[in-house]
């Protein structure tokens, strides 16, 4: 069973990389861009057939290592 | 005085700090991260560098290493712990210090000499300095932009838990003298009991006149009984 984890900086934490990427996109002519937040992506393959148990395990991974919850939020999706 | 310097793959200031400690007659052991026992030490140092290549987040992988379990338990019992640069990042990632170190606001790796002001000398780490003294130290980091929530920031400010802040040559602490965007110009913080210090500047790089300055030496002198 595979899961996708996306980690982004919390909204009240400044994301200078996202800002610069957004500014560059505007500079090269991309229109209607409101904002960009840059993050990290993990694809996790688990030996688990129960999706609830799998998601619980991935949540544990996020809390213990993958995300720093003081500054980051995480989202888990089954893929 | 016995000290232990923790060494990770990617540490690069471990020998510098060992030289500074040796100069002051500390008996120093270099402790590899895979060790599961820490020798009895009056001081534990987590040195600067790029442990595990800064993978995931600076300090995140080192914070889960074998020896850190020992360091955490020693810290909770009141042992003196000094984390410099990457060491500060590791102390935050392992939960001994609160807050976070974000990427520098200017998005550049900064390696230069800066000034810090001693805000309070009431601690085992800074007692040989005078409050208000300005030191020239060196910084070399990409993630030194200290951030914390309002509640913790007030706690730090109200309890003298911020021993040093970035300033200019005249001692003014403002946006201009802030190299990396750190909240309130914070260059280093203590835990509540003041036995654990995390700081971005490198005192060991200013511990001998040959290295251009001895401004960092006071920190090691303070730690001696």
pLDDT at position A17: 85
Burial B154-184 (b: 16+ CB within 10 A, else e): eebeeeebbbbbbbeeeeebeeebbbbbbbe
Q: Is the pLDDT of residue B92 over 80?
A: yes
Coil, helix or strand for B171?
coil
Chain B hits for A20, CB-CB cut-off 8 Å, are 107
Chain A hits for B60, CB-CB cut-off 8 Å, are 65, 68
Coil, helix or strand for A44?
strand
Bridge-based pairing state of the strands B196-199 and B186-190: antiparallel
Which of residues A14 and B185 earns the better pLDDT score? B185
- The alpha-carbon gap from A66 to the nearest alpha carbon of chain B, in Å, equals 7
Token pair, residue B190, equals 């203590």
The mean per-residue pLDDT over the stretch B192-221 comes to 95
| Spatial CA neighbour of B77 closest among B126, B45, B42 | B42
Among chain B residues, CA nearest to A18: B107
Q: Is the pLDDT of residue A62 over 80?
A: yes
ipTM over 0.90? The verdict is no
Which residue segment(s) compose the domain that A28 sits in? Answer: 2-78
Please give the model's pTM, rounded to 2 decimal places: 0.92
Among chain B residues, CA nearest to A62: B56
pLDDT, mean over chain A: 93
pLDDT at position A12: 84
Pseudo-torsion of CA B64, B65, B67, B70, nearest 10°? Answer: 20
Chain A hits for B95, CB-CB cut-off 8 Å, are none
Does 2.70.70.10 match the CATH number of domain B2-223?
A: no
- Interatomic CA distance for residues B27 and B40, integer angstroms: 11
- Interatomic CA distance for residues B177 and B167, integer angstroms: 5
Q: Which residues of B are catalytic?
A: 85, 202, 204
- Considering only CB atoms, A13 lies closest to which of B64, B98, B102, namely B102
Q: How many angstroms separate the Cα of B59 from the Cα of each of A19, A69, B55, B129?
A: 24, 15, 8, 29
Q: Where residue A26 sits, what CATH number does that domain have?
A: 3.30.1280.10
- Interatomic CA distance for residues B130 and B144, integer angstroms: 25
- The alpha-carbon gap from B207 to the nearest alpha carbon of chain A, in Å, equals 34
- For chain B, what percent of residues have pLDDT higher than 90? 95
Q: Of A35-39, B53-57, B123-127, which one has max mean pLDDT?
A: B123-127
Q: Is the pLDDT of residue A26 over 80?
A: yes
- Considering only CB atoms, B103 lies closest to which of A17, A68, A70, namely A17
Please state the domain count of chain A. 1
pLDDT tens digit string along B119-128? 999 999 999 9
């Amino acid at each position: 069973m595979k899961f996708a984890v996306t980690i982004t900086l919390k909204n009240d934490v400044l994301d200078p990389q996202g800002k610069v990427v957004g500014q560059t996109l505007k500079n090269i002519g991309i229109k209607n861009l409101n904002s960009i937040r840059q993050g990290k992506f993990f694809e996790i393959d688990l030996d688990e057939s129960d999706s609830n148990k799998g998601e619980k395990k991935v949540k544990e991974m996020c809390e213990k290592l993958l995300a720093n919850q003081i500054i980051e939020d995480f989202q888990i999706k089954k893929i | 005085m016995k000290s232990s310097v923790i060494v990770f793959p990617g540490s690069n200031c471990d020998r510098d700090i060992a030289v500074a400690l040796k100069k002051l007659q500390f008996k120093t052991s270099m402790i590899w991260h895979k060790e599961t026992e820490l020798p009895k030490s009056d001081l534990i140092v987590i040195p600067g560098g790029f442990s595990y290549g800064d993978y995931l987040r600076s300090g995140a992988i080192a914070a889960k290493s074998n020896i850190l379990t020992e360091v955490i338990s020693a810290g909770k019992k009141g042992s003196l712990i000094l984390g410099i640069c990457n060491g500060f990042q590791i102390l935050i990632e392992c939960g001994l210090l609160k807050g976070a170190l974000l990427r520098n606001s200017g998005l550049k790796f900064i390696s230069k000499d800066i000034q810090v002001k001693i805000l309070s000398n009431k601690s085992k780490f800074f007692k040989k300095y005078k409050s208000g003294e300005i030191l020239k130290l060196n910084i070399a980091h990409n993630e030194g932009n200290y951030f914390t929530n309002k509640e913790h920031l007030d706690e730090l400010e109200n309890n003298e838990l911020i021993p040093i802040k970035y300033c200019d040559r005249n001692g003014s602490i403002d946006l201009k003298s802030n190299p990396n965007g750190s909240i309130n110009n914070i260059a280093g913080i203590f835990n509540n009991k003041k036995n654990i210090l995390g700081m971005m500047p490198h005192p060991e790089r200013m511990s001998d006149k040959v290295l251009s300055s001895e401004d960092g030496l006071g920190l090691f002198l303070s730690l001696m009984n």
